[in-house]
Amino acid sequence: MLKGIIAGLLAVALLSAPAFAADDATMRAAKKEGKITWYSSLTINIAQDICNRYNKKKTGIKCILHRDGSGKLYRRYLQERKGGIYVADVVHTSNLGHFLNLKAKKIITPYKPAGTDNFNEKFVTKDNYWTILRAGVLMPFYNTKKVSEKDAPKTYADFLDPKWKGKIIQSHPSYSGFVTNGMINIVNRFGWGYYEKLAKQKPKIVQSAAGSVPLIARGEALIGTGTTSYTLLKQMQKGEPLKPVIPPAGLALVTSPNSVFTKAPNPNAARVFTDYLFSQETMQLLADYFLYVGNPNVKYPKGLPALKDINLMAIGGDELKKKNKPTRAKFKKLFGV
Amino acid sequence: MTQDAQQLPGMISGGEPSATRKFDYTIIVWVVLFILLVILVANPIFQLFKESFFVSEDEAGGFTFQNYIDAFETDEYYKPMYITMMLAISVGSISLVVGAVMAWVVSRTDIPFPNLIRNGILASFVTPPFLGAIAWIFLAGQNEGWLNKWIRGLFGLSEEFYLFDIFTMKGVIFAMSLYTFPLVFIVVLAGLNNISSDVEDAANVAGGGTFHTMFSITLPLVAPSLFAGFILAALEAMILFGIPAVLSIPAGQHTMTTQLRAFMVSEDDLLGLASAYAMPMLVLAIGMVWTRGIVLGRRGYATVGGKGGQRRPQKLGVWRIPIFILCMIPLVCAIVLPGFALLTTSFMRNLGGGLVWANFTLWNYHFILTNDAVRVSIYNTILLAIMAATGATIVAAVSAFIAQRKLIKGHQYMGFMATAPIGIPGIVLAVGLFAAYTKQPFVLYGTLWIMFLAYLTKYLPLAYQTANAGLSSIHPELEESCRIMGANRLQVFKDVTVPLFKTAVIASWILVFMPSLRELSASVLLWTTNTKVISVVVVAFYEESLLGPISALGVLLLLITLVAIVAGFRLVGRDFMSSSG
């Protein structure tokens, strides 16, 4: 009887083994695989920094970064899968809705990264299909050289002031999960009427959430309707003349999951690398880049507002999944591209 | 190449081989060419056509007309077509005027420094248009463009004032014209060089002034070249992806190429819709090439034939310097200003910091050289350009040789086959290749081979025309006289044909190599993690507005191109870029 129970427990342990942190055997197998390809929507300078740091460790596993917007990564993976091409091992984007689809089709597999036991509960999942790597908010902002604090927009409605016509940048939701997420939140709050009026302001359209920052830093446009908080705050730290707008209505919180693909060509390296992504070292690095992480032991840089001090707007993965497509279609109708 | 070609002289009809053996060789050559044409053109176009009638697999699959209805029913998708037509006509017309005037000035007048103008035009011809467009954001951005700031400073105008705004349709037309007028220049210059200046001299003698002669004598004679130049420029404007991707998307306006790409990278599987949407572009492009062929093929002008004899330049008189300055404007706009803008921006720490020493940094170069995408792309770009140039040149040289020396049955169709892809826009070809080679059993997607196929197909016509033109200047009489002197076929081929043909072969290699370095419109749909090329990395960086790193990458790409040109000049002399028709 006891034997039976032990055998049963062992079987359960073995079955669920892949869902737990990498052990020595995994490490040996990972070294044999030698590389891991990471499909990531994290802005290129941060994502590349993570890969470069990992590669400097000379673990015998090379991290290869493929950076693109959430939507494009999703399409690319499905397209490659259709052709029987498996390149990507680990995926990380800002569209939780996509991860629900991937989970439903068992395209991603459960894995619980090492060291995440004490993580903030909002960053981990019970079934371990994904773990939230980082969170940020979609922040409106302006150029401080060109716009005085007095004139700067204070609320979302201020962006509709005719004096900003042609001087606004809006990011495109088709490519950025961050922007899709933010738009759904704002539509929930203010209705589509807000974007109908915003379209009449003739904003310039850029294709990534972070893409508005360099253009506004240069002064080519004066105000941005929303960018990734971490890009904005990092550029401010570097000395660019920028400042966030924190409207009383709140800011959209975007949490970005990370998963291992079921058909990862380097399944062991994928797990070892995922452990690295959630290690104290990378968590601290992400925090230094002004991102919020699940690890409670990181030190956040000066200038990053604590999440509890921000009035947050948030939607669940199901809502994102449902409203994703209509939001993009409506955006195209309103803004032309 | 030589091995293939060395066997070919043995096939000259009337030679020693028996009838059966001759028959075998012919079959082999035809089968090889047929397979090549199927892989490169027929299959992708067939798959494109097929996909356009099918529901995407993500939905349900099955035959449908819905793709066509979706593609042409709504305003959103219809407007890019209208915009693209407008662009093609505007850019074609502007390029026609600028290119033709400059060709006339260089070919017929006593303008100072004609070689400077000629080389400047060739330099703008090889500058990647997407880099030019990005540089023009720094130059003519509405608020911070250097030219706008300069004008404000010069006249003490308010911050609100601006003369230029590059993020408009006018901006797109301007940027496109900068890089398409060289096409008109090259075609019209070739046309002008074929007209004897005797008739112009006669008009001068009869009392016609410089400009009168130009309008009433020269202009009508080069009319076919002008038309061909217009068509080429308009076609290029229609199929360009880089400039609209950089300038017109921010302006909230898709062109057909950017809309096509938007379908292809959409989260939803829109291959069917994209295929349907590509059809009008394909039909229009083929129609334009066909029209050009008809006009150029009409040899109704008796004076056009062979190179003219002595040429006396027309005197520009007091207009000499003003016209020279006018001719320099497009060149300054196409090369000097963008080059300067990219170079300086590549060394800027903060984009808002301006041109001061405190703002100097090498960070952008550090960034690109430690970036996975860039490192992979430099290697791939050079490898692909070498592969495409070598592949296209071999196919072109062999087919041109067969066609010119009438080596096999049906040799007269060689030219048609080698130039068949000429009407297929790069981005449409890429959708076709994507449809054809992303599914079993022929999965080439994810490898450099699919991009190699795209480049080969795209540039084969250019390589063929160059090789063919080079070969047609070698008279068979030369070879025959050597045969009479007692040399055998192999010796003739080795000692006469190959040395004479070499220049054309090298020219065609370089003419494929250079555009391959910056190919974008096909690559942008075919690249994958390990098969990135520099141009798509620039576009990917642009989508994140990494203006500093893009500038550094642009400088790098221009340097690689420059090395290729200098090597070209060294190897074949400075005529090599004007040898293409």
Could you give the CA distance from residue B429 to residue B452 in angstroms, rounded to a whole number? 12
- For an interface test with A, give the residue of B139, B529, B542 to mutate (most A CBs within 10 A): B529
Residue B342 lies in a domain: no
DSSP 8-state class, residue B63: B
- Within 13 Å and on the Cβ side, how many CA atoms surround B125? 21
**Residue A16: band (very low, low, confident or very high) from pLDDT cuts 50, 70, 90:** very low
Residues B72 and B156 placed together within one structural domain of the fold? yes
Minimum-distance CB partner of A82 among B258, B267, B439: B439
Please report residues of A whose CB lies closer than 8 A to that of B254.
Answer: 336-337
**What is residue B137's predicted lDDT score, i.e. its pLDDT?**
94
Backbone angles phi, psi at B128, to 5 degrees: -60, 120
Q: B211-244: string of b/e by CB count within 10 Å (b at 16+)?
A: eebbeebbeebbebbbbbbbbbbbbbbbbbbbbb
Cβ A42 vs Cβ A134: under 8 Å: yes
Q: How far is A10 from chain B (nearest CA, A)?
A: 40
Please report residues of B whose CB lies closer than 8 A to that of A335.
Answer: 252
Minimum-distance CB partner of B545 among A72, A206, A219: A206
Would you call B92 helix, strand, or coil by DSSP?
helix
Please report residues of A whose CB lies closer than 8 A to that of B167.
Answer: 204
CA distances from B204 to A287, B112, B217, B319 (A): 79, 21, 10, 18
Outline where DSSP puts E strands in B424-565: none
Backbone angles phi, psi at B530, to 5 degrees: -100, 5
Numbers of helices and strands, H then E, in chain B:
29, 0
CA distances from B172 to A27, B237, B288, B497 (A): 53, 10, 22, 47
Residue B136 lies in a domain: yes
Residues B40 and B72 placed together within one structural domain of the fold? no
Q: In chain A, what percentage of residues exceed pLDDT 70?
A: 93
A41-90 tens-digit pLDDT: 999 999 999 999 999 999 999 999 999 999 999 999 998 998 888 999 99
Residue B61 burial (CB count, 10 A):
10
Please report residues of A whose CB lies closer than 8 A to that of B546.
Answer: 44-45, 214
DSSP 8-state class, residue A152: S
Residue B61 lies in a domain: no
Of B538, B527, B549, nearest to B264 (Cα)? B527
Domain ranges of chain A: 17-134+255-304, 136-253+309-335
Q: How far is B262 from chain A (nearest CA, A)?
A: 9
In this prediction, the answer to ipTM > 0.90 reads: no
Q: In chain A, what percentage of residues exceed pLDDT 90?
A: 85
Asked if B265 and A175 come within 8 Å (Cβ–Cβ), the reply is yes
Asked if A210 and B545 come within 8 Å (Cβ–Cβ), the reply is yes
Q: How far is B48 from chain A (nearest CA, A)?
A: 16
First to last CA, chain A: 67
Question: What is the secondary structure of A175-231 as a DSSP string?
Answer: T-HHHHHHHHHHHHHH-THHHHHHHHT--EEESSGGGHHHHHHHTSSSEEEEEEHHH
Could you give the CA distance from residue B326 to residue B316 in angstroms, rounded to a whole number? 13
Could you give the CA distance from residue B457 to residue B207 in angstroms, rounded to a whole number? 51
Please report residues of A whose CB lies closer than 8 A to that of B439.
Answer: 82-83
Domains of chain B: total: 2
Residues B34 and B81 placed together within one structural domain of the fold? no
Asked if A52 and B268 come within 8 Å (Cβ–Cβ), the reply is no
Residues B81 and B156 placed together within one structural domain of the fold? yes
A321 to chain B: nearest residue by CA?
A: B267
Written as tens digits, the pLDDT of chain B (581 aa) is 334 444 444 444 444 444 444 456 678 878 888 898 889 889 999 999 999 998 876 556 688 888 999 888 888 898 999 999 999 999 999 999 999 999 999 988 999 999 999 999 989 998 999 999 999 999 999 888 999 989 999 998 888 888 899 999 999 999 999 999 999 999 899 888 877 777 788 888 888 887 888 788 888 888 888 999 999 999 999 999 999 999 999 999 999 999 999 999 998 889 999 999 999 999 999 999 888 888 876 544 444 444 445 566 878 889 999 999 999 999 999 999 999 999 999 999 887 677 888 889 999 999 999 998 999 999 999 999 999 999 999 999 988 888 888 877 777 788 888 888 888 999 999 999 999 998 777 889 889 999 999 999 999 999 998 888 888 777 778 888 888 888 887 888 788 888 888 888 888 998 899 999 999 999 999 999 899 999 999 999 998 889 999 999 999 999 999 888 888 888 876 555 554 43
CA of residue A85 relative to chain centroid, distance? 25
Residues B418 and B325 placed together within one structural domain of the fold? no
**What is residue B309's predicted lDDT score, i.e. its pLDDT?**
52
Asked if B545 and A239 come within 8 Å (Cβ–Cβ), the reply is no
- The two beta strands, A251-261 and A223-228, are unpaired
**Residue A98: band (very low, low, confident or very high) from pLDDT cuts 50, 70, 90:** very high
| List of residues 6+ apart from B60 with CB closer than 8 A | none
Residues B449 and B568 placed together within one structural domain of the fold? yes
Asked if A218 and B439 come within 8 Å (Cβ–Cβ), the reply is no
Residues B469 and B536 placed together within one structural domain of the fold? yes
Q: How far is A240 from chain B (nearest CA, A)?
A: 6
Please report residues of A whose CB lies closer than 8 A to that of B445.
Answer: 79-80, 83, 85
- For an interface test with A, give the residue of B445, B544, B546 to mutate (most A CBs within 10 A): B544
Residues B409 and B545 placed together within one structural domain of the fold? yes
Minimum-distance CB partner of A174 among B266, B438, B440: B266
In CATH, the architecture of A136-253+309-335 is 3-Layer(aba) Sandwich (3.40)
Please report residues of B whose CB lies closer than 8 A to that of A221.
Answer: 143
Q: How far is A133 from chain B (nearest CA, A)?
A: 21
**What is residue B6's predicted lDDT score, i.e. its pLDDT?**
41
**What is residue B15's predicted lDDT score, i.e. its pLDDT?**
44
Asked if B438 and A82 come within 8 Å (Cβ–Cβ), the reply is yes
Helix axis angle, B372-404 to B534-543, nearest 10°: 140
Asked if A48 and B269 come within 8 Å (Cβ–Cβ), the reply is no
A276-295 tens-digit pLDDT: 999 999 999 999 999 999 99
Asked if B252 and A43 come within 8 Å (Cβ–Cβ), the reply is no
**What is residue A22's predicted lDDT score, i.e. its pLDDT?**
67
Of A122, A152, A156, A165, nearest to A293 (Cα)? A122
Is A203 exposed, middle or buried, given 0-12, 13-18 or 19+ CB atoms closer than 10 A?
A: buried
Cβ B1 vs Cβ B397: under 8 Å: yes
Record the pTM.
0.88
Evaluate whether the domain defined by A17-134+255-304 bears CATH number 3.40.190.10. yes
Minimum-distance CB partner of B373 among A67, A87, A239: A67
Residues B375 and B452 placed together within one structural domain of the fold? yes
Q: How far is A254 from chain B (nearest CA, A)?
A: 18
Q: How far is B157 from chain A (nearest CA, A)?
A: 16
**∠ CA A85-A90-A96 to the nearest 5 degrees?**
105
Domain with residue B218: its CATH number is 1.10.3720.10
Q: Same CATH fold, A136-253+309-335 and A17-134+255-304?
A: yes
A38 to chain B: nearest residue by CA?
A: B529
Q: Average pLDDT of A108-122? A: 95
A239 to chain B: nearest residue by CA?
A: B350
A144 to chain B: nearest residue by CA?
A: B352
**What is residue A8's predicted lDDT score, i.e. its pLDDT?**
57
Could you give the CA distance from residue A285 to residue A289 in angstroms, rounded to a whole number? 6
Helix axis angle, B271-297 to B426-437, nearest 10°: 130
Asked if B142 and A220 come within 8 Å (Cβ–Cβ), the reply is yes
User: Whole domain around residue B514: which residue ranges?
Assistant: 1-51+361-581
**What is residue B502's predicted lDDT score, i.e. its pLDDT?**
84
